[in-house]
Structure 1
């Protein structure tokens, strides 16, 4: 018999972990709702042609493709086997796989808008909290199955949207207690201007893919990669000057104006950054010209939320403007902008920094002891009254020794126990014990209310 196990890069979540994750989800969801976003869900899998070609050469490699049905069909078995052998040889076999697990929530959202744009009210503001899958190498903070929490606005060019998304990041992380995070922003228009300055728009993808690796491989390796991608020494020197810009946000804007402000698309990118920097008024907003985000569909402001430096996790969110994403699906001219929260990484940050409030761990608030048939009958009726008041409670499943029931309450981190024995039935009372303080008192059953167990 095979030993039970999990696919690499996936995890089970026990009750305590689920409660902590729900705390993060609920915090993010409540902020999304405050800003007027509506919920949406899309399927776990999409048609392969919906996803391929949308994430850049690096991203496309990480899409989990789903094998078509047929291996359990005797008529198709032999052909499916033969096709799969061809795939192992590096050949592309049409019809072997036509679907894939979704890589992110943005492209499926664009597909949804393209299919339903006639019925939507624009600007359309949606949020989505669902799992996505990437065939990545698992490591700390990086998994093959993980949740994303996205907020997107489509049908509006206003920079007000970018300002609000920046404030959503700030509000969420402030409510979660994640102080020390940085919200980094750049404009893809500046990267387009840099590409134009270094030989033409066709250099854009080569430059952004290389720059996006700066944190991982360092400047020298980035320069090597740029050379391998066909850029000459003069062009690489210009990119190095671009990457070397430092100082306050205002200093950086002044320096980038000197380098790229003579190009129209460069001026537009600078104006965007100036507006978001000025209007968002967030202390930890950092203009970062090294930020590239290697996704081809971004066209304007891009975001990356960085975890506090002490936890060494890196990005905990990102996004940007994608002014013609639905054009990929035959519905052009619907501008959009969106952000995503990396919940799994946020969880790791909060766990390491011990930021979860104590109440998050609490499931059952009150355990009613089971001391026999008549006693449990009274206990059950009392428990049901408390449940109607919103008190989370349970009755021990069988009559057992008091020590066993106390141990059960302690292991489940239950704060209170209520003991109703034969004497208590006669007097219509119950013994209430606070397991955290040790305090104990006998109270009329009618006085057991939600206020008592807070």
Structure 2
């Protein structure tokens, strides 16, 4: 018996219409990356387990897809996870850090790269959460200048504005502020469990965060000190003033407030198109490698979680032997952005057009002329196709309609005799007779 075909849960096939929409997103993101001076690279789908493990925190490590060993190695130990030497990449940032270290003599610092490739996570599939999905990353390594944080906020704003997303927020915080909070509360050694817990505020609420802090062994005195931070209010400047007061005895916390104040002030001076820039003290982003600014972007009024994120990491390349190379980067979640745009019906019709012209096939003589014209259109960059056989007119027109081809060209015996063409606008239904040069002018 043949097996019923299916895809692995949490993965998807993409039909041509969907691919057209996805490519519209990728092209829009890539365009902004290039404008800001980022260069493209690619890294392998697989990395060594040693490269990936220990870089994402306890929860992240559990979601790494490890590749089962083969042959004799499989017989050595029942715990396959301990034997796995390779894994599918969890994100693009850690492989990028490995790339920088291996290729440090071939690149110029500060090195600005963009990368658009799939990543994999052994997660529970649900709306907006897939096991295979694309990330679109832009990172800079080799400089600790806050100029890059400012530019990355601008890229978030530019890309999402160009995609037509009407209402979105760029939430920003600084891991130095979180370290300062842990220090002020006397819990310096517990910075990681504290950040993991408060990062879940949107998902489990204040009571849930407090319960998790207690479960992670955070003292009641520390929780009492943290409690007022859940209710910070006012403008970004007012909230930062409150944080400055709270962290006045913390050198690292004060440094975080100063960095964040500078970024927000400079972004405000330059202006944003649509984005709301919001200081969010409970934003933690659970990845262990962040050390400075952290970002998260949400599409307001759409229940899907964050659609972009990122932050600064000062120590990531040192894990691979290259010290003193600071980096900062952002990532666009193309799959979630797609879902948001689909839900809000934001894709322009132009993004869905592949073939622009179809030539109707009336027979061998007409087909030859159509093939000649089709070549000339393609030479001028106009996508077109000739229907492959002299099928019934109804069938050919249905094909063009199903494919959403905007123009249909008809060259019958009369057109061959007169050296003219007849073309139909499939959207308006209007039909005109003209010469080929006039057709080209209309299509352009």
User: TM-score, normalization: structure 2?
Assistant: 0.96
Does residue 1:158 correspond to 2:152, yes or no?
A: no
Q: Cα deviations across residues 298-320 of structure 1 (Å, max 9, x unaligned)? A: 00010001112x21112001010
The residue number in structure 2 matching 1:73 is none
Q: Cα deviations across residues 257-288 of structure 1 (Å, max 9, x unaligned)? A: 11112211111011011111100124610000
Task: Give the Cα separation in 2 of the matches to 1:311 and 1:398.
Answer: 47
Does residue 1:189 correspond to 2:190, yes or no?
A: no
Secondary structure of 1:184's counterpart equals strand
Aligned ranges for residues 222-371 of structure 1 at < 5 Å? 222-281=209-268, 282=272, 284-308=276-300, 310-371=301-362
Task: Give the Cα separation in 1 of the matches to 2:436 and 2:24.
Answer: 33
Secondary structure of 1:192's counterpart equals helix
Secondary structure of 2:265's counterpart equals helix
Task: Give the Cα separation in 1 of the matches to 2:36 and 2:4.
Answer: 48
Task: Give the Cα separation in 2 of the matches to 1:180 and 1:425.
Answer: 54
Task: Give the Cα separation in 1 of the matches to 2:256 and 2:346.
Answer: 37
Task: Give the Cα separation in 2 of the matches to 1:304 and 1:326.
Answer: 23
Count of aligned pairs: 438
Secondary structure of 2:67's counterpart equals strand
Does residue 1:34 correspond to 2:35, yes or no?
A: yes
Does residue 1:126 correspond to 2:120, yes or no?
A: no
Task: Give the Cα separation in 2 of the matches to 1:453 and 1:332.
Answer: 56
The residue number in structure 2 matching 1:103 is 90
Task: Give the Cα separation in 2 of the matches to 1:32 and 1:300.
Answer: 22
The residue number in structure 1 matching 2:442 is 452
Secondary structure of 1:448's counterpart equals helix
Secondary structure of 2:29's counterpart equals helix
Contact kept in structure 2, 1:211 and 1:290, CA below 8 Å? yes
CA RMSD of aligned residues (A): 1.3
Task: Give the Cα separation in 2 of the matches to 1:45 and 1:240.
Answer: 42
Contact kept in structure 2, 1:386 and 1:448, CA below 8 Å? no
Q: Cα deviations across residues 136-175 of structure 1 (Å, max 9, x unaligned)? A: 1111111000000000010101111100000000111111
Task: Give the Cα separation in 2 of the matches to 1:119 and 1:401.
Answer: 60
Pick from 67, 74, 91 the counterpart of residue 80 of structure 1: 74
User: TM-score, normalization: structure 1?
Assistant: 0.94
The residue number in structure 2 matching 1:50 is 51
Task: Give the Cα separation in 1 of the matches to 2:355 and 2:106.
Answer: 44
Contact kept in structure 1, 2:184 and 2:249, CA below 8 Å? no
Task: Give the Cα separation in 1 of the matches to 2:186 and 2:256.
Answer: 19
Task: Give the Cα separation in 2 of the matches to 1:314 and 1:428.
Answer: 58
Kindly state the Cα deviation for residue 393 of structure 1 after the two structures are TM-superposed.
0.7
Secondary structure of 1:67's counterpart equals coil
Structure 1 pair 381–68 and aligned structure 2 pair: CA distance change class (3 A): same
Aligned ranges for residues 377-396 of structure 1 at < 5 Å? 377-396=368-387
Task: Give the Cα separation in 2 of the matches to 1:448 and 1:431.
Answer: 9
Task: Give the Cα separation in 2 of the matches to 1:40 and 1:453.
Answer: 35
Q: Cα deviations across residues 207-235 of structure 1 (Å, max 9, x unaligned)? A: 00111111111111211111111111110
Secondary structure of 1:189's counterpart equals helix
- Flag structure 1 segments of 5+ consecutive residues without an equivalent: 71-75
Does residue 1:21 correspond to 2:22, yes or no?
A: yes
Task: Give the Cα separation in 2 of the matches to 1:414 and 1:276.
Answer: 47
Task: Give the Cα separation in 2 of the matches to 1:236 and 1:369.
Answer: 73
Task: Give the Cα separation in 2 of the matches to 1:352 and 1:152.
Answer: 29
The residue number in structure 1 matching 2:61 is 60
Task: Give the Cα separation in 2 of the matches to 1:231 and 1:45.
Answer: 37
Kindly state the Cα deviation for residue 446 of structure 1 after the two structures are TM-superposed.
4.3
Contact kept in structure 2, 1:189 and 1:265, CA below 8 Å? yes
Contact kept in structure 2, 1:242 and 1:259, CA below 8 Å? no
